[in-house]
Each structure stands twice: as structure tokens, then as C-alpha cells.
Amino acid sequence: METPSCYLEFNFPNDTIFNDLKAVFDKFKDARDNDSELNDQYWLETFPEYAASQFWFLDTDIKPLNTTVVKTENSWHFYSLVELLYKNYEVDFVGLRVLSPNIGILEYDPYSYPYGGTDGFIAFLKSFTCIATIVDDGTGLYKVEFNDNGSYSFADLAV
């Protein structure tokens, strides 16, 4: 299979986590491909509790029963990420697959530039304890370097 112009390569801890991630990714892809109208409750129920707990929620939001993270500069609001993945990213979701044991790839094709960047995809992966390692965002190939506080930067992987 030929790799599309844009992707995120990532590490995943085990097959169960990968399968959970793929199931949610496929629901976003299907909703986008079919222009489906889905509500907040649907998306909250789509995410496993452990992944939903990695986001913060407004007091007025429909929330998971378990504890969630506190809002910080490096945490994401759940429904903001859902809105980005569900409707606002200017990309086609191509696929999500395993490359080798514990290494996966999330593939997408942008409609044009700028399309919204990779921050949402990185947050989505991170909520499933998957760590982005390499990004090809259409402008270059980069290594993702995470800091202790949860922020990250990109190092150019020029060939």
C-alpha cells in the first residue's frame, strides 16, 4: 500500500489499545465520509472511558462518569477535539493501520494548506496512550519530541 502524502507514525502499548483507537478513528472516518449528524452523547459513548478521561469538560458539557483531567495549556477540551476531527479538519481520513509490532500509522490527505495541522491528531492518539513519533504534514518530515509537561516540538528529519 502506498503511503499518502501525510501521516503520523506512532507507538501503541498493545493490540487492545490499537483496536480501541481504530474503532473510534473508523467512526470519525465514517461520519465524515457520510456527512452524518451525530450528537455529543454519541461521541462520548464512542470513546472508551480511559481515553475520554484524558480531556477536560465544561460544567455544561455531557461528561463521562469517571474523573477527567484538569484544564491546562497542554490539555484539550473533549468536544473541541471531537468537532475538529468530526467536521473541521480540512482533510480526508485515509486509514489507521499497524506498520509493525506496536507501531501504527494514521494516514490522511489534506484538501489544501493550511488544513488545521497535526495537533488534534496528536491529542487524539495521546488520549489512547499512543505516542506520535514521526509526522509528515505535507510540508516536511519531522520527529515529535515530547517534553515533561506534555508539550512537544518537531525536529526536522531532512533526508
CA distance linking residue 99 with residue 146, whole number of Å:
22
Q: What share of the chain is helix, strand, coil (3-state, %, to 5)?
A: 30, 25, 40
Buried b (16+ CB within 10 A) or exposed e, 101-121: eeebbbbbebeeeebeebebb
Is residue 60, in this structure, part of any structural domain at all?
yes
Q: Please count the structural domains in the chain.
A: 1
Is residue 108, in this structure, part of any structural domain at all?
yes
Which residue range forms the structural domain that includes residue 137? 6-152
Is residue 1, in this structure, part of any structural domain at all?
no
pLDDT of residue 146: 94
C-alpha cell at 159: 533526508
> Per-residue pLDDT averaged across 81-97, rounded?
95
C-alpha cell at 132: 506520535
Of 158 and 147, which is predicted with more confidence?
147
Residue 159 pLDDT greater than 70, yes or no = no
